Amino acid sequence: MLAIIIGVVKWQLGKTDAETTSKGSCMHNSGSQADPKLKTVDCSSSDAQYKVVEKFDDTSDDSKCKTVADADIAYYQTGDNHDVVLCLKTVK
């Protein structure tokens, strides 16, 4: 049983902020627009640039954000069977 728990913890630690964030969370891009590196931050922080208005797991179809109210930006991440799309609203 212990081996299973360690495996799950290692898998969780390997996940990115885009995969583990949730609707209503805020994000900061420490990368560039061409090579984004999104990190979850506190929404009251001055680092908060985007708010997650919707999240779609197991897909890379960023066109899903076109139907999401308030979504300014669609961000998708693929790889290692952890595809995710975040629909983001710019925090002003």
Distances (CA, A) of 69 to 8, 27, 79: 35, 18, 27
Statement: residue 79 has pLDDT above 80: no
Q: Which two tokens stand for residue 48?
A: 């908060």
Residue 36 to residue 23: CA distance in whole angstroms? 19
Q: Which two tokens stand for residue 78?
A: 């693929």
pTM of the model: 0.79
Average pLDDT over residues 52-58: 94
Average pLDDT over residues 57-70: 91
Q: What residues are paired with 45 via a beta bridge? A: none
Residue 5 to residue 26: CA distance in whole angstroms? 29
